[in-house]
């Protein structure tokens, strides 16, 4: 009897599908029944093989000579922790009675990658159909099973998935090794991770360099008869600026207008409306949950995934669309009925608008639905007591936003009054809400009235009270999960306008499904620290970005990486191709490695500001190193790569093509160098050289550990280096000089192959 194999992404999803298919029992790796076998991955079962498995020449200790590592064809490897389940899935795929396969992994790029890698490595060539489930309810799964489509319809999605994974491998493997070898300390680089870190480093720099500035505004209470209203002074000639830089000028405005009569110059009133918001996609849900509930992007995704998979209360959450299809809209009363159980007034208002059919809803637009429609409630009714506090809070946000999308606009009257007192102009604005409309669904949004008196042009007013109020400019705020997600969505451009954000989405950093993990990766690698809601780049993160930026500025560019992300989206839509994208990535990585490898290591003074080392302390001025002697002439008939004669060995401080110090000529008499201690990076000996204390392996390009002789404005002596290498910290304090030229005493200590100041006793 022919059997159809269904492959889900997770065991929980597989068991739900088995239940809908009426398969009995619970298997450990699969569930069988008449005509069907259901099995599952456990997330990714297969990844791209390690460099040493791609090419034996790339195995072992990291060396510059290995780079660039660009496989002609990427080999895949089963992840060790998933090997058992892979063998189960592979065996089922190759079973003789299995004649058809349904790919039921998550709808989206990563789900497609999980299945296609398994099928590719297993050598499965049986016909495959794609299941595309909007929700995990029984009704939703039955509809998805009845409407499977040929796997070929998602071929471009699979190609984009492979391109994303291979591009990340090329960038991560090559540039992480390149900069680690170059710097002598572990530096991790990622196609998306590094540009995101750049946003955080730049924000930290802006805050640290910010110089607050005092300014003043003049605030007035104007009165017409018994009715008073607040107004704000505006500066000539265009009357747009309200700030005054000098206190005396602000006081002069107050003194010149106090108690003086005035006149209304103009009154403008207009009927306005605030249109309903679109339903959530994942990024806007994560931003809202961070701002309102304090949940991190990662936590919000986990809660949303639980509401989708376990609770079956919301549709697929890993979506980048905020719109719904016309097909779904035809059934929209079902989820509204489920929302009515907890939000009756809001759901009823939305349902009445839908049934009236008197207006077009902006959220219904087939052309703007990508892989999946917006996140909305399912037809399943929630039992509040069964949900955790976070689950309920996120579910409530989704329901309220869903109802709001179909409710009436908020309508209000906006008024602007210009008045003149003693030749100075003041502006008053007011807003009076006539209908709250959709704002009742999200009551936390401000909708306060600020009515103004009924005024006409030419009416008299009096300046009842004036005040010169002092202010101070504030630095930009540190990123939070919410604001960083917004910046990632638009490739670093801080865009608040909803329509413009929508237009820029395809050029964002990462995807809605990956952005939370990118943030968590930066935190785990200690490149970013959480301070309450704030995300702050650490010194290590700053060093990594500034090192990469100094040598390979395009790799920290949010715009460039955003363009790459757009190309991946274009591959999904058939507007770009996998070969063209990968050709460009391979070329970019190869050229990048070559450029950095052939360049000398950028001095720390360039990385951290003129005259400042990686720890923020000044480097003593020193004459430029002597120019390297010209290369020795190549003997006639000798290959171009022939080494120069030993007599022309370069002097101290000259570096080879990999940026590593070249070995100095042997000491007189051939006496061996006496190591001062073991290298903290590779374990070999550290020896004294002309300009620094360096690892012996520096000459061969295998290690780049070095301690400069001049550091923090002071001299580093051999005895201090012995202490550092043997104890990790100097025994005695040493005299250094601050940036301001003031002497101070401190210990030195080793931290991850770097020398830092230590002020503890």
Is 554 in a helix, a strand, or coil? helix
Q: Which residues of 166-181 are buried (b: 16+ CB within 10 A; e: fewer)?
A: bbbbbbbbbbbbbbbb
Instruction: Give the span between the Cα atoms of 568 and 564, in whole angstroms.
Output: 6
Instruction: Say if CB 292 and CB 113 are below 8 A apart.
Output: no
Per annotation, catalytic residue among 316, 340, 412, 527: 316
Instruction: Say if CB 130 and CB 147 are below 8 A apart.
Output: no
Instruction: Give the span between the Cα atoms of 606 and 441, in whole angstroms.
Output: 54
Instruction: Say if CB 97 and CB 278 are below 8 A apart.
Output: no
Tell me the DSSP string of 150-214: EGGGGHHHHHHHHHHHHHHHHHHHHHHHHHHHHHSS-----TTHHHHHHHHHHHHHHHHH----E
Q: Which residues of 651-670 are buried (b: 16+ CB within 10 A; e: fewer)?
A: eebbbbebbbbbebeeeeee
Instruction: Say if CB 319 and CB 311 are below 8 A apart.
Output: no
Say how many C-beta atoms besides its own lie within 10 A of residue 116's C-beta: 22
Instruction: Give the span between the Cα atoms of 195 and 175, in whole angstroms.
Output: 13
Tell me the DSSP string of 608-646: SSTTB-TTSPBPPP-PPPPPPPPPPPPPTTS-TTPPPPG
Instruction: Give the span between the Cα atoms of 233 and 422, in whole angstroms.
Output: 12
Instruction: Say if CB 761 and CB 716 are below 8 A apart.
Output: no
Place of tokens 């390149």: 178
Place of tokens 């080793």: 750
Instruction: Say if CB 426 and CB 231 are below 8 A apart.
Output: yes
Instruction: Give the span between the Cα atoms of 190 and 589, in whole angstroms.
Output: 12
Closest CA to 658 of 624, 709, 705, 704: 704
H or E stretch covering 31 = strand 30-33
CA angle 112, 295, 482 (to 5 degrees): 75
DSSP type of residue 228: E
Q: What share of the chain is helix, strand, coil (3-state, %, to 5)?
A: 40, 20, 40
Q: Which residues of 576-611 are buried (b: 16+ CB within 10 A; e: fewer)?
A: bebeebbeebbebbeebbeebbebbbbebbebbeee
Instruction: Give the span between the Cα atoms of 111 and 281, in whole angstroms.
Output: 18
In sequence order, the 6+-apart residues with CB closer than 8 A to the CB of 238 are none
Q: Would you call 395 a catalytic residue per the annotation? A: no
- Active site (catalytic) residues: 316
């Amino acid at each position: 009897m022919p059997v159809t194999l269904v492959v889900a992404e997770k065991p929980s999803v597989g068991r739900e599908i088995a239940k809908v298919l009426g398969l009995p029992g619970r298997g450990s790796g699969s569930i069988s029944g008449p005509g069907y076998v259901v099995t599952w991955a456990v997330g990714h079962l297969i990844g791209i093989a390690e460099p040493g498995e791609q090419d034996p020449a790339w195995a072992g200790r990291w060396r510059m000579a290995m780079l660039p590592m660009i496989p002609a064809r990427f080999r895949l490897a089963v992840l060790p922790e998933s090997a058992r389940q892979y063998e189960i899935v592979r065996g089922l795929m190759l079973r003789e009675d299995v004649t058809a396969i349904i790919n039921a992994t998550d709808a989206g790029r990563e789900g497609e990658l999980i299945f296609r890698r398994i099928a590719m490595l297993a050598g499965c060539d049986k016909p495959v159909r794609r299941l595309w489930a909007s929700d995990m309810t029984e009704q939703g799964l039955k509809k998805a099973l009845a409407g499977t489509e040929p796997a070929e319809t998602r071929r471009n999605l699979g190609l984009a998935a492979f391109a994303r994974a291979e591009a990340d491998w090329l960038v991560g493997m090559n540039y992480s090794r390149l900069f680690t070898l170059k710097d002598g300390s572990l530096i991790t680089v990622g196609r998306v991770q590094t540009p995101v870190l750049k946003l955080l480093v730049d924000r930290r720099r802006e805050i640290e360099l910010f110089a607050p500035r005092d300014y003043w505004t003049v605030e007035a209470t104007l009165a017409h008869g018994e009715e008073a209203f607040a107004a704000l002074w505006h500066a000539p000639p265009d009357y747009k600026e309200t700030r005054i830089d000098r206190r005396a000028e602000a006081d002069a405005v107050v003194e010149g207008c106090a108690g003086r009569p005035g006149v209304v110059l103009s009154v403008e009133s207009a009927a306005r409306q605030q249109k309903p918001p679109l339903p959530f996609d994942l990024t806007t849900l994560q931003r809202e949950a961070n701002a309102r509930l304090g949940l991190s992007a990662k936590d919000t995704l986990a809660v949303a995934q639980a509401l989708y998979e376990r609770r079956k209360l919301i549709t697929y959450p890993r979506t980048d669309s905020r719109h719904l299809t016309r097909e779904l809209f035809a059934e929209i009363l079902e989820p509204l009925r489920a929302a009515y159980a907890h939000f009756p007034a809001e759901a009823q208002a939305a349902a009445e608008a839908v049934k009236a059919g008197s207006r077009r809803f902006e959220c219904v637009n087939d052309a703007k639905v990508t892989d999946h429609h917006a996140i909305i409630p399912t037809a399943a009714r929630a039992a509040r007591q069964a949900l955790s506090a976070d689950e309920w809070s996120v579910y409530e946000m989704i329901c309220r936003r869903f109802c709001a999308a179909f409710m009436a606009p908020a309508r209000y009257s906006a008024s602007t009054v210009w008045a003149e007192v003693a030749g100075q102009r003041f502006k008053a604005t007011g807003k009076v809400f006539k209908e709250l409309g959709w704002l009742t669904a999200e009551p936390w949004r401000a909708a306060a009235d600020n009515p103004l008196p009924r005024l006409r042009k030419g009416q008299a007013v009096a300046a009842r009270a004036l005040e010169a109020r002092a202010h101070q400019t504030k630095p930009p705020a540190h990123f939070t999960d919410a604001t960083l997600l917004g910046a990632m969505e638009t490739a670093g451009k801080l865009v608040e306008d909803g329509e413009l954000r929508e237009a820029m989405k395809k050029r964002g950093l990462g995807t809605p499904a990956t952005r939370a993990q990118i943030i968590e990766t930066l935190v785990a690698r200690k490149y970013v620290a959480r301070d309450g809601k704030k995300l702050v780049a650490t010194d290590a993160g700053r060093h990594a970005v500034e090192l990469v930026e100094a040598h390979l500025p395009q790799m920290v560019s949010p715009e460039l990486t955003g363009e790459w992300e757009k190309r991946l989206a274009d591959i999904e839509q058939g507007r770009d191709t996998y070969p063209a994208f990968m050709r460009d990535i391979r070329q970019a990585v190869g050229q990048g490695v070559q450029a950095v490898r052939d360049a000398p290591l950028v001095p720390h003074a360039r990385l951290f500001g003129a005259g400042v080392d990686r720890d923020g302390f000044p480097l003593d001025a020193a004459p430029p190193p002597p120019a390297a002697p010209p290369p020795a002439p190549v003997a006639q008939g000798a290959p171009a790569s022939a080494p120069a004669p030993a007599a022309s060995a370069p002097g101290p401080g000259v570096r080879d093509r990999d940026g590593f110090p070249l070995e100095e000529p042997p000491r007189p008499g051939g006496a061996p160098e006496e190591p001062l201690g073991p290298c903290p990076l590779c374990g070999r000996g550290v020896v004294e050289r002309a300009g620094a204390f360096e690892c012996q392996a520096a000459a061969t390009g295998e290690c780049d550990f070095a301690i400069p002789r001049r550091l923090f404005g002071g001299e580093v002596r051999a005895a201090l280096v012995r202490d550092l290498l043997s104890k990790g910290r100097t025994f005695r304090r040493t005299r250094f000089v601050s940036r301001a030229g003031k002497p101070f005493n401190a210990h030195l200590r080793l931290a991850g192959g770097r020398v830092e100041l230590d002020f503890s006793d």
